[in-house]
Chain A
Amino acid sequence: MEHTQRRPAGVARASSGLMDGLQRWLPKLVVAPTFLLVGIGIYGYMLWTGVLSFTNSSFLPSYNFVGLEQYAKLMESERWIVASWNLAIFGGLFIGICLLIGVVLAIFLDQRIRQEGAIRTIYLYPMALSMIVTGTVWRWILNPRLGLEKLMHDWGWTSFSFDWLVNSDFAIYTIVMAAVWQASGFVMALFLAGLRGVDSSIIRAARVDGASLPVIYWKIILPSLRPVFFSSVMVLAHIAIKSFDLVMAMTAGGPGYSTDLPAVFMYAHTFTRGQMGLGSASAMLMLGAILALLVPYLYSELREKRHD
Chain B
Amino acid sequence: MTDMVRTGFRPSRIAIYGVLLLACLVYLIPLIVMLITSFKTPMDIRSGNLLAMPTDWTTIGWTKAWSEACTGVQCEGVKGYFWNSFKMTVPAVMISTLLGAFNGYVLSKWKFKGSDLLFGMLLFGCFVPFQVVLLPMAATLGKLGMANTTAGLVLVHVIYGVAFTTLFFRNYYVAIPDALVKAARLDGAGFFTIFFRILLPMSTPIFMVSLIWQFTQIWNDFLFGVVFASGDSQPITVALNNLVNTSTGVKEYNVDMAAAMIAALPTLVVYIVAGKYFIRGLTAGSVKG
Contacts and interface: CB of A to CB of B under 8 A. Distances in A.
Interface of A: 3, 23, 26-28, 30-31, 33-35, 37-39, 41-46, 48-50, 52, 61, 101, 104-105, 108-113, 119, 121-134, 136-141, 143, 146-148, 150-151, 153-155, 181, 185-186, 189-190, 193, 195-196, 198, 200, 203-204, 207, 213, 216, 228, 231-232, 234-235, 238, 241-242, 244-245, 248-249, 252, 262-263, 266-267, 270-271, 276, 279-280, 282-284, 286-287, 290, 294, 301
Contacts of A44: 136
B46 A146 contact: yes
Interface centre among B50, B190, B240, B285 (most CB of A within 10 A): B50
Interface stretch (B54-62, B69-77, B122-130): B122-130
A48 B165 CA distance: 26
Given A34-B103, A108-B20, A139-B244, A128 B216 contact: yes
Given A46-B132, A122-B27, A141-B33, A41 B160 contact: yes
Interface string B8-32: 1000010011011001101111110
A280 B186 CA distance: 53
B135 interface: yes
Interface string B259-285: 110011001101110010011001101
A146 B244 contact: no
B28 A122 contact: yes
Interface in B134-163: 134-139, 158-160, 162-163
A102 to B, nearest CB: 11
A276 B135 contact: yes
Nearest to B239: A132
A130 to B, nearest CB: 4
A46 to B, nearest CB: 5
Contacts of B201: none
B134 A283 contact: yes
Given A133-B260, A238-B127, A270-B135, A189 B279 contact: yes
A293 B168 CA distance: 23
